[in-house]
Structure 1
């Protein structure tokens, strides 16, 4: 006699265990960008947090937005998310609060990788950061996820394309070549100013498309939100070796 086959329910959506909290923006999200679903080798769930513009989150410290992010995270969990991440490294500020508010693992920022990467480096070497805005990446953003406050940082504020499209929202279109150049040049300035840097972590979730170019230009390992989230997801769905 065949045994009954019982499927477990309780969620609205299945097969996409990772939920991503998105900023509200209109710039292009090319392949490799966190907000391009084709970037990921697994299904994901998205939720746009209304009113959470890049300017408010990056330049204004996400002031007043925590309740909106908590509500959106809880909604993703109700839908079926088994873990939560976010679409901006500056949301490290909300790591503790989001983790307390939902019943699933939370990884708010690629900056969470810094202590792990530091542990891989030889004595005398340290991690450096490339961010969309060095001027507003404060010690509070760093210490919230265990990053030393004196970590070397460079930003793209003075570039020709990346910052003005993503943060200043001067236009919807983006010159990919110029955006890549902004990120690469920021990394090169970082290494030139801090020769002790032995690996780079990219704060911005829009920077993974340019990580390979930065690696080629500096010769250093480069980590970003893609490396964090593929690791994060591996724990949600470990490979079954039979």
Structure 2
């Protein structure tokens, strides 16, 4: 069986089922490797500035036995070419790489891209993932304007009440995307924090958080 290697941002990560730091997310072998000196990027420039850190970490992760490598931040898609060239195992930095295949499945209809901060995702991210919005029409939607998601970004913790508010806010973003483009064929989640609302926390305690 292959081993999934995950390049983890340094610092406190959400130990929430569905998120990459949680042991409950994957049902197969996983190696999590912290990228020393990294931090959560909020712009394309901040992500690209961490290239040397990620190249070194990817090589270390391969040496640990990872047979495929990914990252726990969608903005690392900007480093796709450099990281895949630095190691001998496959590298998939972002779900944005799936957009061309998804587009074919829905007959070329527009694709929704759900992210955290929409200003951090654009043509540079798309091209780094192997396609262009000139060929595949996309509609961006971001949860970062909602206090519930900003709280999660800050604390990396989700109480049941906060999860419900996050879900409502996420659905409002999707509704806005559909209002802007009724022919939307599919939605791709670019941000790795988004699956946190798809799992159910225990009713008697908050979801855990941890330092990765």
Are 2:49 and 1:102 aligned? Answer: no
Equivalent residue pairs, number:
194
Q: Which residue of 2 aligns with 1:157?
A: 144
Are 2:28 and 1:49 aligned? Answer: no
Q: Which residue of 2 aligns with 1:127?
A: 111
CA distance in 2, matches of 1:108, 1:165: 22
Deviation by residue 1:86-132 (Cα, 9 ceiling, x = unmatched): 11111110000000000110000011111010000135x22111101
Report the TM-score when normalising by structure 1: 0.73
Gaps of 5+ in 2: 201-212
CA distance in 2, matches of 1:204, 1:29: 16
Gaps of 5+ in 1: 1-14, 214-242
Out of 148, 165, 177, the residue aligned to residue 164 of structure 2 is 177
Q: Tell which structure's C-alpha radius of gyration is larger.
A: 1
Q: Which residue of 1 aligns with 2:132?
A: 148
Are 2:55 and 1:36 aligned? Answer: no
Superposed, which structure 2 residues align to 1:5-44 within 5 Å? 17-44=3-30
Q: Which residue of 1 aligns with 2:63?
A: 78
Q: Which residue of 1 aligns with 2:206?
A: none
Higher RCO (C-alpha under 8 Å, 6+ residues apart): 2
User: Greater shift after overlay, 32-41 or 198-207?
Assistant: 32-41
Measured after TM superposition, the shift of residue 82 of structure 1 is 1.0
CA distance in 1, matches of 2:106, 2:24: 32
CA distance in 2, matches of 1:173, 1:29: 8
- In the TM superposition, structure 1's runs of 4+ consecutive aligned residues that sit over 6 Å from their partners are none
Report the TM-score when normalising by structure 2: 0.83
Q: Alignment RMSD, CA only? A: 2.1
